[in-house]
Amino acid sequence: MQTFDLEAEGLRALNASLHALKGDTNTTAWEIINPRGSHAIAVGVDAPLDITVRGSTGYYCAGMNKLATIRVAGNAGPGVAENMMSGTVIIDGDASQYAGATGRGGTLVIKGNAASRCGISMKGIDIVVHGNVGHMSAFMAQSGNLVVCGDAGEALGDSLYEARLFVRGSVKSLGADCIEKEMRPEHVELLRDLLVRGDCDADPSEFRRYGSARKLYNFDIDNASAY
C-alpha cells in the first residue's frame, strides 16, 4: 500500500500522483493520512484504484471519480462524489450538502446522514444513505436511484424527472411533481441489489417508492427510454 501524508506533501502532489496512474498500474492501493478537512481530495481519479482517506474531508472529495473505489474514514464536506462517472465512493460518517450532485454513474454509499440536496440533478448515479437526508434531496434528479434507509426532509424529489427514490422512514413533504408510486416486484429486486451494494441489511419490503408524476415536462411513453 502507498501511504501519502497530505499534511506533509500537499494536495497538488497527491492529485498529480493519482492522475498519473493508468489502468495497468500495479500501485492500486493508497492510504491518505492527515487530510484535516482539506478540499478536493482525490478528484478526477481515472484508474481502478483503492483509496482510503483516514479522516474527514472538505469540499468535493472524490469529485468526477471514474473507476476508483474511494473510502472516507470520517465525514465528508459539501459536494462529495460530485459529477461521479463510475466506481464506488463510501463515506463512513456523515456527508454535507449536495452529496452525489450531477453524478452520472457509479455508487455512492453514505453510512451516516446526508444533508440537504443529496442527489441534486443526479444523472444515473446510485446513492445509498444509511441514515437520513435533508430537504430538497433529489431536486431535479434525472435518472439513477436514491435509497434512504432513514427519513427524508422537506420537498423530496422536487421537479423530478425519471430517477427512482426509495425511502424506508418518513418523508416530511414531497416536492413539486413527486408522488408515491407502487412498489412492484421489479422495484423490490432492484432495491435489494442496491442495498447489497450499499452494505445495508435493511428489508426492501419496508421501503416506499417515489417518482415523477410527469406533469412538469412533455412526456411520451413511447420515448421513455430516452429520458
CATH of the domain at 65: 2.160.20.60
Counting the structural domains of the chain, the total is: 1
Q: Average pLDDT in the 205-216 region?
A: 94
Enumerate long-range contacts of 143-149, CB under 8 Å, 24 or more apart: 143/227, 144/103, 144/119, 145/190, 145/194, 146/118, 146/119, 146/122, 147/191, 147/194, 147/195, 147/198, 147/200, 147/207, 149/200, 149/202
CA trace torsion 95, 121, 158, 142 (10° rounding): -130
Q: Which domain holds residue 71?
A: 2-226
pLDDT digit string (tens) for 29-48? 999 999 999 999 999 999 99
The rounded Cα 209 to chain-centroid distance in angstroms is 18
What is the number of alpha carbons within 13 Å of residue 184 lying toward its C-beta?
3
Helix (H) or strand (E) holding 109: strand 107-110
Q: How confident is the model at residue 227 (pLDDT cuts 50, 70, 90)?
A: low
C-alpha grid cell, residue 85: 462517472
182 CB neighbour count, 10 Å cutoff = 8
108-140 pLDDT per residue, tens: 999 999 999 999 999 999 999 999 999 999 999
Average pLDDT over residues 97-104: 98
Q: Summarize the confidence of residues 91-100 as an average pLDDT.
A: 98
pTM of the model: 0.94
Is it the case that residue 223 has pLDDT exceeding 80? no
